[in-house]
Each structure stands twice: as C-alpha cells, then as structure tokens.
Amino acid sequence: MLKKTFFLLLFSTGFLGIKAQQTIPFRITKNNNIIVKTLVNKKDSLDLMFQIAMKEGAISPQRQRKADHLIFNKEEISENNTVDIGKMSWKDIRFTDNQLTGHEADGKIGTALFKGKTFKIDYDNNRFEIYEKLPDLKGYQPIPVIWKQDLFYFVADNVVDGKKQQEEYFALQSGYSGGILYSNDFADEKELDKHLKVTGEKTLKNSQGQSVITKQGILPFFKLNNFVFKNMPVGFFSGELKTQNISYFGADMMRRFIWIFDADRKMAYIKPSKYYSEPYYKIN
C-alpha cells in the first residue's frame, strides 16, 4: 500500500511539474503589437510593448506615462531595475532611454522575462505561458531556430517570380506591425521591384538628401513548413541608402500562429491561431 501511494505521489508530482506554469496577460493593439502592463522599480506603471527581437527593456521619448524612477547614465543606460507583472518579479533589468516603440506603449520589454525557460506566445488567449519543460506539442510543427544577438532566425521559402522557391532567413520582429519586410540584399538579388507587382511606394530623404524608397508588393507564395500563404503583401526598400540588413517576419505574421520556444532557444513550435486567415495588415 505504501509503495502504491509512493508511485501515485511520484506520478502526480511529475504531472504537475510538466503542467505547472506562470502566465503573463497581454493585449494586442490594432497595429498587432503586444502590450504588457508592468510596474518598474515599484513606482512607475508602464505599458511596455513586447519586443521578441531584444532581451532587456527600453523607454520611449514619446511615452504617455512617467518613468521618473529610472535613472539613466550619460550613455542613456539604466542598470539594476525591477519589473513586476502581477505577482511575478524580475531583477537586474537594464533599460535604454530614447528608443521609439509601437503605438500605445511607453517603451519595450524583451525576452529577459523568459530567461532559461520555455515560453509560449498564446494569441488565442492573450497571454504568455512560462514552463519548466516543454508542454504538450500535439498539433504543433517544429521549426529549427538560431538565436543570435537576441534575435530568433529561421528559414522560409519565397516564390518571387512564379518559378522556384527562394530560401531566406527571417528574424522574428514583433515591433514591426506588418508581415514580411525583406532585406536590401534579398530585394536587390531577387530584383523584387521587377518581379513583384508593386502596389505602393514612398520616398523619404535624410538630412544629407539621400533617398530611401519603401515599396509594397504582392508575393505569389510564402511557405513556412507546411503553411502556405498566397498573394501576400510584402515590403522592401530601394534607393541610395542600404540600411535594411535583415529580413523581418513581423507582427502581422507572428499573430497568425501560437508559438512555443524551448529553453535552449534551438527550436520553435507553431500551430495556427485564430488570426491565421485574417486579412493582411495594411502599411500606411
């Protein structure tokens, strides 16, 4: 009887260990950005945009709420801050000052919230889930990822000219409200301005009079694992300045899936969310 009780207790403990989790609620803006309500240094209530492409935090010069208890040095860095979300607390969070962020946000917070943990971005239920171990992966497709300099990279296929698939590495970028934004190298090499149907164009000039032309085009096919998107809007740059060094998988595409990232940051697992078939976000 004691042996039976011991094994029952062991099984129950193991089961709870797999299922035990912490959750962080968030809301999604009309611009597809994730907003988390935080308390910084026990004093400043700030709405921070989750930025998967960074580790620590940042404060925007256009913030609506005060951040008087963040002390920045000459390099605009503030060390050793606390961040509270509900009953959860993080220490030693670094903040950078004067970084632009998404609409409705006072700043940004990154993946330091999930250091050493498996985490899920659950767009269906508007929450993050934090795990000690991988949860049930039934229905998910695995995607190998490379985590480098706080960016998650993965490979996807692009059909530009209707003939063959072109592989490209994309970085997850939850701060970019749109879907796909191509690097200058990919746009130039694949001659996107010739092969894609261009639907929009804007020209911007810097203080030196150099021009940056942003274009919107229609990509015939985009394939991520077994998921295929047809006739989707994509963005790319042309002009004299070549500043876009990375291709982005933006927030409009991210929200179409539920994401699980392992603690080692070597694999992601995805399945369609309730936004999978929603209309594409329009870049103004």
Contacts by 187-192, CB closer than 8 A, 24 or more apart: 187/236, 187/237, 187/238, 187/244, 190/158, 190/160, 190/161, 190/166, 192/160, 192/217, 192/234, 192/236
Residue 162's pLDDT is what? 73
Residue 282's pLDDT is what? 83
Same fold? 20-131, 143-254: yes
Q: Which CATH class is domain 20-131?
A: mainly beta
Sheet holding 127-131, edge to edge: 21-25, 127-131, 118-122, 257-261, 267-272, 141-144
pTM of the prediction?
0.89
In the chain, where the domains are located = 20-131, 143-254
The tens place of each residue's pLDDT in the chain, 284 residues long, gives: 444 443 444 333 344 445 547 999 999 999 999 999 999 999 999 999 999 999 999 999 999 999 999 999 999 999 999 999 998 999 999 999 999 999 999 999 999 999 999 999 999 999 999 999 999 999 999 999 999 999 999 999 999 987 788 999 999 999 999 999 999 999 999 999 999 999 998 876 655 566 678 899 999 999 999 999 999 999 998 777 778 899 999 999 999 999 999 999 999 999 999 999 999 998 76
Full DSSP string of 244-284: --SEEEEHHHHTTEEEEE-TTSSEEEEEE-TTTTSPPPPP-
143-254: what fold? Cathepsin D, subunit A; domain 1 (2.40.70)
Residue 13's pLDDT is what? 38
